[in-house]
Chain A
Amino acid sequence: MLARRDGRTYLISDQRYKRVNIQSNEIPFLISNDGFLVCIPIGKDMPIIGITASRRVGKTITLHSFKDRVYWYTNTGCIFISDYQNETKNYHLPNDSFLLELLKITKEKPIGLPKIHIYPNTNSLKEENLPPDSIKTSLPVLELIKYPESYFELKNSAMYLRNLYPKFEEINKNEGTISMENIENVINEHLAGNSMDKKVREGFENLKTKIIESFKDIASDGSLDIDLDLKERFGRVTTYLNVKKDGKEYWDYIFVGLVRAGLFPIFMTEDLLQKRKWENYISFIVNKIFNSIKNDKELKEKGLLLFIDEMERIFKKSRKKNAQRSIAGDSFVNIAKIGGPNRVGMIYTNLNYSELDDELISNTKYMIVLQHTSDKEVKLIQKDFTFEKRYVQTILNLKKLEAMAFTKEKFVKYNLITGEKVTDTEPVIGRILPPLSYPQPPGD
């Protein structure tokens, strides 16, 4: 109980909060109503965590608080994939106003994040609007040819483009760059159907046109790493980084290099969204990051969590009948399926639960549900996560920044009074922890 003395309130000694020592593989995210600090453990498999809520009840704040704690408390690498609204510009500042009382309970100190903005280079990007801690990047043309399925929607025909890779590599070696002319020539010359069948020949002609037009499309946006002339016109862009760390030297793809250096890269998509093929761009990046981590022993040990705000934008209403999942949606589902053992996980937020992809939900191990206004959607969550029906009403009655968390695995819980550690599979209700870095109010 609280005792009053000198006009101040004190906690009597046996009620005072203990300092709980969380392990380096646990991410705290919630203080439960029964006095527990609830954490999500990172095991051998990286977790897939979903956050779902109505508008303006703390969905993005929850994601922010996750990213701070993942960055500072665990050894895991972090990448923020999609900042659509320039919300991350103040992440380098410490949180100075938001729910600081709660931070006192967990004895945490507000701190900023060493973030770096990565802008996709496009012809509509205005140099003067970019913050100083930002880098422009572009799509590496050789990578697009080597792994065509990560960008082009070619299905089985992707192998024809991939087979041309040695030719492009040779051109790049001799001339130092690849021009649009080279691309057209090589594809016209070598991508030919020798079949007698007229239909097959026509098919190849269509494929040629499709590939060349796609390349021209990206090049005219300025987002392709091609032609020295174009490079000069759109300014210096960076695709690969040379990281020197502990006496060793690494050449990495830009996102991977920044993760290796221990920074927090943020991909800024505000400008990209106006382009026609922005989903393909995101798909390429996600696949490239995934493959780099998969094939790198050091980074695989470290692990990686991708942060995605408003996931349903990327998927495009895939629960509707006959609606096709976007190519970016495919790459995220791929991570949800096989990312775990390859040490790549993700944390995503979502506004309309009913629009989320089935395959993504079935692989989501933790779901954090904030206040909902739609009875229908909560019932869907109840069906997917099989919890008791009485919790449906609880979710509808949640207050702002209150959350209920469900798991298909387990939570690690610390009793804040006794310091005792328990594991539990039951749903928990409580208040989400505030972010440690500066939370940007929406629309500010």
Chain B
Amino acid sequence: MTFAGYVLQQRGISILNEYNEELPGLSKDSENRDIIPSRPYIIVDTFGTPTGNLEPQWHDLTYEEVLKLGYVIVVRRGGWFAGQQVNYILMHKSKAGSERKMDRFPNKHYVKYDSANKIFKFMGRNVSPQGIALIKL
């Protein structure tokens, strides 16, 4: 769901077009994941609370689905600590449905520390110190 759709939902307002259809981007159906890639990135901290613009459905996505949408997971720090966090997120996701637990990222989806650092510099302060981010390539 887009931010506009979220705002409408919060205010209890509904909009339909001339054909009695819901407008794209304002759909209340949270299953409609095609909408998500409009966002260039969303930031998720260690405890699964997004600090980006909106809560919703990232927790429901599995890792494969995230990749399918063209996102990569970027961690702020290298080393085991970052790995732990990523595992946490993946475990969190596996609770939501998928049984599969990944212990390693495929290399092509892993952004190394240096470049990630640059990206975080670009993102600025809104990333929590233990932040993990999903970035669209």
Binding site for B on A (CB under 8 A): 90, 92-94, 96-97, 100, 110, 112-116, 131-135, 236, 238-245, 257-258, 261-264
Q: How far is the CB of B39 from chain A (nearest CB, A)?
A: 7
Interface string of B17-52 (1 = CB under 8 A from A): 111110111100000001101111000000000001
Contacting residue for B15 out of A113, A131, A242, A264, CB 8 A: A242
Chosen A-B contacts, 27 in total, with CB atoms closer than 8 Å, are A92-B39, A92-B53, A93-B39, A93-B40, A93-B52, A93-B53, A96-B126, A97-B124, A97-B125, A110-B126, A112-B3, A114-B2, A114-B6, A115-B3, A116-B4, A116-B25, A132-B24, A133-B4, A133-B5, A133-B24, A133-B25, A133-B38, A238-B23, A240-B17, A241-B15, A257-B15, A261-B8
> Which B residues, 79 to 119, have Cβ-Cβ distances below 8 Å to chain A?
none
Please determine whether A236 and B19 come into contact, CB atoms closer than 8 angstroms. Answer: yes
In the complex, A115→B8 CA distance in Å? 11
Instruction: Given contact pairs A133-B26, A133-B35, A258-B15, enumerate 4 new A-B contacts (beta carbons under 8 Å).
Output: A93-B52, A112-B3, A132-B2, A245-B13
Contacting residue for A92 out of B4, B8, B19, B122, CB 8 A: B4
Instruction: Return chain B residues, CB-CB under 8 Å to A242.
Output: 15-18, 20
* Closest B residue, CB atoms, query A260: B13
In the complex, A348→B4 CA distance in Å? 24
Q: How far is the CB of B18 from chain A (nearest CB, A)?
A: 5
Q: How far is the CB of B93 from chain A (nearest CB, A)?
A: 23
Please determine whether B126 and A94 come into contact, CB atoms closer than 8 angstroms. Answer: yes
In the complex, A135→B124 CA distance in Å? 31
Contacting residue for B123 out of A96, A100, A264, CB 8 A: A96
In the complex, A110→B39 CA distance in Å? 17
Please determine whether B52 and A92 come into contact, CB atoms closer than 8 angstroms. Answer: no
Q: How far is the CB of B131 from chain A (nearest CB, A)?
A: 12
Tell me, yes or no, whether B11 is within 8 Å of chain A by CB: yes
Instruction: Please name the 9 residue pairs, one residue from A and one from B, whose CB atoms are nearest each other, closest first.
Output: A133-B25, A97-B124, A114-B4, A114-B7, A92-B3, A133-B2, A96-B124, A96-B126, A238-B17
Please determine whether A243 and B15 come into contact, CB atoms closer than 8 angstroms. Answer: yes
In the complex, A243→B17 CA distance in Å? 9
Instruction: Return chain A residues, CB-CB under 8 Å to B123.
Output: 96-97
Tell me, yes or no, whether B14 is within 8 Å of chain A by CB: yes
| Chain B: number of interface residues, binned into ranges | 20 to 34
Instruction: Return chain B residues, CB-CB under 8 Å to A96.
Output: 123-126
In the complex, A340→B40 CA distance in Å? 39
Please determine whether B126 and A262 come into contact, CB atoms closer than 8 angstroms. Answer: no
In the complex, A93→B3 CA distance in Å? 9
Instruction: Return chain B residues, CB-CB under 8 Å to A132.
Output: 2, 24-25, 34-35, 37-38
Please determine whether B122 and A97 come into contact, CB atoms closer than 8 angstroms. Answer: yes
In the complex, A115→B40 CA distance in Å? 15
Q: How far is the CB of A198 from chain B (nearest CB, A)?
A: 46
Instruction: Return chain B residues, CB-CB under 8 Å to A114.
Output: 2-4, 6-8
* Closest B residue, CB atoms, query A91: B3
Contacting residue for A262 out of B5, B13, B35, B40, CB 8 A: B13
In the complex, A245→B11 CA distance in Å? 9
* Closest A residue, CB atoms, query B41: A93
Q: How far is the CB of A412 from chain B (nearest CB, A)?
A: 28
Q: How far is the CB of A298 from chain B (nearest CB, A)?
A: 14
Instruction: Return chain A residues, CB-CB under 8 Å to B16.
Output: 241-242, 244
In the complex, A120→B45 CA distance in Å? 39
Instruction: Return chain A residues, CB-CB under 8 Å to B6.
Output: 114
In the complex, A257→B14 CA distance in Å? 11
Instruction: Return chain B residues, CB-CB under 8 Å to A262.
Output: 7-8, 11, 13
Please determine whether B18 and A238 come into contact, CB atoms closer than 8 angstroms. Answer: yes
Instruction: Return chain B residues, CB-CB under 8 Å to A110.
Output: 126
Q: How far is the CB of A155 from chain B (nearest CB, A)?
A: 33
In the complex, A100→B37 CA distance in Å? 27
Max chain B C-beta neighbours (<10 A), residue from A100, A113, A238: A238
Instruction: Return chain A residues, CB-CB under 8 Å to B26.
Output: 116, 133
Contacting residue for A100 out of B2, B4, B124, CB 8 A: B124
Q: How far is the CB of A19 from chain B (nearest CB, A)?
A: 22
Please determine whether B13 and A244 come into contact, CB atoms closer than 8 angstroms. Answer: yes
* Closest B residue, CB atoms, query A112: B53
Would A263 and B122 be within 8 Å (CB), given that A93-B53, A113-B3 are in contact? no
In the complex, A113→B4 CA distance in Å? 8
In the complex, A156→B117 CA distance in Å? 64
* Closest A residue, CB atoms, query B43: A96
Instruction: Return chain A residues, CB-CB under 8 Å to B14.
Output: 243-244
Please determine whether A135 and B11 come into contact, CB atoms closer than 8 angstroms. Answer: no
In the complex, A250→B72 CA distance in Å? 43
